């Protein structure tokens, strides 16, 4: 099969996407539209300009890549905007032949005076439902020529809650005056799972719990209580691990957080870590796995 035919074949076959971030999947044209509407500052108001300055082909590191999310999150602060983004997201997936999606996002980034946690999940669900119903009642689906569309929601907690990005996280930090930043992040994760239980009770298709954000220096094990709560409440569990830190991060996600699925996992093999100079040799690799849960190894 030649390259073009293979591309065509991949485009045609029905697919599922189980690792996709809603706030990383906005149409750039929609981002510009919504930013103009809400008078938000963007480094450029053209698609070309944003591809050059923000959504680049290559990034310096994970934090550099994550910067783009700041802009998308800033336009996702009303139920109407979130609903539109979620609606278009499903349309774009169907266009690419993706018929089952587990969409993920961090609801806490979108909480403000107008929306509490479950309003955010509700707005995403409403937008996705609308596009889903339109597709599933189309003639092509009814005639059996296209598969039906379905989706689930994964709520992401943050390894370390950032400052100055969300009023919710800022307030959360302010009221926990006597706790460390690590502990505050863990408490915010626990709070998220509590709200997920309520969202699921309301009928929203919340299927899983995830941990995302800057990995190095922020061991997932600190979020153990939130994962235990998710586990006891029959949520599926996933962890962004081995993305910007070593294999011990993956080890910890599985042994301490009951992860059913790992996100990214680039550093699964010690050889990759040796090449990237994260570890000296295989002995060092084993040593770090054995001590994976000790804070000084992070
Ligand atoms: Zn991810």
Given 102, 215, 243, 256, which residue is catalytic? 243
Q: Which domain holds residue 203?
A: 14-27+86-297
Pairwise CA distance, residues 263 & 84, whole Å: 27
Is 32 a domain residue? Answer: no
- The answer as to whether 75 is a domain residue is no
Residue 67 within any structural domain of the chain: no
- pTM comes to 0.87
CA of 5 from ligand 1 middle (Å) equals 29
- Give CA–CA dist 267/276, Å, rounded: 10
Q: What are the residue ranges of helices labelled H in the chain?
A: 3-12, 28-37, 47-53, 62-74, 79-95, 117-136, 139-142, 167-175, 181-201, 224-232, 247-257, 270-275, 282-290
Q: How far is the CA of 212 from the centre of ligand 1 (A)?
A: 7
Whether 243 is catalytic is: yes
Distance, CA of 72 to CA of 290 (rounded, Å): 39
The tens place of each residue's pLDDT in the chain, 298 residues long, gives: 688 889 888 888 999 999 999 999 999 999 999 999 989 999 999 999 999 888 888 888 767 777 788 899 999 999 999 999 999 999 999 999 999 999 999 999 999 998 999 999 999 999 999 999 999 999 999 999 999 999 999 999 999 998 888 889 999 999 999 999 999 999 999 999 999 999 999 999 999 999 998 777 788 889 999 999 999 999 999 999 877 666 778 888 888 899 999 888 776 665 666 676 666 776 776 666 666 555 555 4
Rounded to whole angstroms, the Cα distance separating 227 from 240 reads 13
Ligand 1 geometric centre to CA of 142 (Å): 34
Residues in the chain: 298
Any domain includes 187 = yes
Task: Say if 268 falls within a structural domain.
Answer: yes
Closest CA to 47 of 33, 61, 57, 59: 33
> Residue 14, Cα to own-chain centre: how many angstroms?
23
Ligand 1 centroid – CA 140 distance (Å): 32
Q: How far is the CA of 123 from the centre of ligand 1 (A)?
A: 21
- Domain assignment present for 53: no
Q: Hey, which residues does 179 pair with through a beta bridge?
A: none
CA distance 130 to 32: 23
Distance CA 21, CA 108 (A): 14
**Inside any domain, residue 52:** no
The answer to whether residue 287 sits within a structural domain is yes
Neighbours of 157 (CB within 10 A): 28
Q: Kindly report the CATH number assigned to the domain that includes residue 218.
A: 3.20.20.140
Residue 42 DSSP code: -
How many domains is the chain partitioned into structurally? 1
């Amino acid at each position: 099969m030649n390259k073009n035919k293979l591309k065509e074949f991949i485009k045609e076959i029905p697919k599922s996407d189980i690792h996709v971030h809603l706030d990383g999947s906005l149409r750039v044209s929609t981002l510009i539209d919504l930013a103009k509407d809400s008078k938000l500052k963007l480094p450029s108001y053209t698609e070309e300009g944003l591809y050059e300055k923000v959504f680049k082909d290559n990034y310096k590191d994970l934090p550099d890549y994550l910067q783009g999310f700041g802009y998308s999150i800033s336009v996702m602060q009303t139920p109407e905007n979130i609903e539109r983004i979620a609606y278009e997201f499903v349309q774009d997936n169907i266009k690419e032949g993706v018929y089952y999606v587990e969409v993920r996002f961090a609801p806490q980034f979108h909480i403000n005076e107008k929306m509490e946690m479950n309003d955010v999940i509700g707005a995403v669900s409403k937008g996705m439902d609308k596009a889903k119903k339109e597709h599933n009642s189309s003639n092509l689906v009814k005639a059996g020529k296209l598969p039906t569309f379905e989706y689930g929601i994964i709520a992401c907690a943050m390894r370390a809650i950032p400052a100055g990005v969300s009023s919710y996280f800022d307030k959360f930090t302010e009221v926990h005056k006597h706790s460390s930043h690590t502990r505050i992040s863990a408490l915010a994760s626990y709070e998220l799972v509590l709200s997920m239980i309520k969202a699921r009770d309301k009928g929203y298709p919340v299927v899983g719990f995830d941990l995302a954000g800057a990995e190095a220096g922020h061991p997932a094990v600190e979020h153990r209580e939130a994962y235990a709560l998710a586990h006891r409440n029959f949520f599926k569990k996933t962890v962004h691990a081995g993305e910007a830190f070593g294999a011990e991060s993956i080890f910890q996600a599985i042994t301490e957080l009951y992860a059913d699925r790992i996100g990214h996992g680039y550093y699964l093999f010690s050889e990759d870590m040796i090449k990237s100079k994260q570890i000296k040799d295989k002995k060092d690799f084993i040593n770090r796995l054995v001590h994976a849960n000790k804070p000084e190894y992070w």
